[in-house]
Amino acid sequence: MSKIKPSKGAPYARIVGVGGYRPTRVVPNEVILEKIDSSDEWIRSRSGIETRHWASPEETVAAMSIEASGKAIADAGIDARQIGAVVVSTVSHFSQTPAIATEIADKLGTDKAAAFDISAGCAGFGYGLTLAKGMIVEGSAEYVLVIGVERLSDLTDLEDRATAFLFGDGAGAVVVGPSREPAIGPTVWGSEGDKAETIKQTVSWDTYAAEGHTKFPAITQEGQAVFRWAVFEMAKVAQQALDAAGITPDELDVFIPHQANVRIIDSMVKTLKLPEHVTVARDIRTTGNTSAASIPLAMERLLATGEAKSGDTALVIGFGAGLVYAATVVTLP
């Protein structure tokens, strides 16, 4: 018989605060068109993107994260010293070690919070949210800060007609805390590594260094293959998350999918047969694809504009490089 005492965590977990940061520079499609043979109309019709934000040298991964996190902590009404763990999802922090989460935890003024980075691409926020829920229910932290942050402008090939217009920079953060009732549903997540080649870095860092490449590594993707996978497979995952939470489409208030492409979003809405009353995040129009940051940024904007409100039931789903995915139903803070 085990001598280990049972955990003393909360019965459930919930999102209690949200914050976002978008870099000050707004980049319209006209800037992208300086390097590729395309048109504003083509970019808008294919992706829905009109503008995106690109970070300045001062708007680092850490700096953007700290700005977004400060807003989330204030929104949650807690002190940074109450945060027991900081989880950062990013693919654009270029130092292998230490984790950028440790710097963020320190500069926010946490009391030696556990801190680590995860790499799960555009599904990273969902992965982090699931880890945070587990820590709170298990009892290893009372509050967990989950950050999705990217400077994808550093990994964009501006001469690649298929991807040059897609990516933006920014940071989104949520504070996850204890709850007396279920407010974060079961996560439906997974990976399909056999499709990893469809979204990837053009060349690995070791190859880049060893072979003396003159062109900096960038993100590339097979657009049609990714589109088909996202539309057909991720709609199934989204439905599974609704089923796992015991929620029907009619009971849903908000849909916050990864902001990859407005056509993917619209197709998922149609496949899921979401009622007209469901508010759908289309933050991609002015923010672009910010990978791990896209869901919390879209959530923050919906709440700030009043399109969504506290207590709404929202379906969130992220999907991307790996290929990885994560979907769950949450109650908005």
Q: Catalytic residues, which ones?
A: 122, 258, 289
User: What values do phi and psi take at 200, rounded to 5?
Assistant: -160, 170
Q: Is 39 helix (H, G, I), strand (E, B) or coil?
A: coil
Q: Which residues pair with 326 in a beta bridge?
A: 189, 318
Amino acid identity of 119? S
Q: 247: which 2 tokens?
A: 């929620």
| Dist CA 316 CA 302 (whole Å) | 13
Best CA proximity match to 146, nearest among 252, 260, 14 = 14
Best CA proximity match to 174, nearest among 134, 126, 135 = 126
| Dist CA 219 CA 230 (whole Å) | 18
Amino acid identity of 214? T
Paired sense of beta strands 114-118 and 83-89, if any: parallel
| Dist CA 161 CA 76 (whole Å) | 42
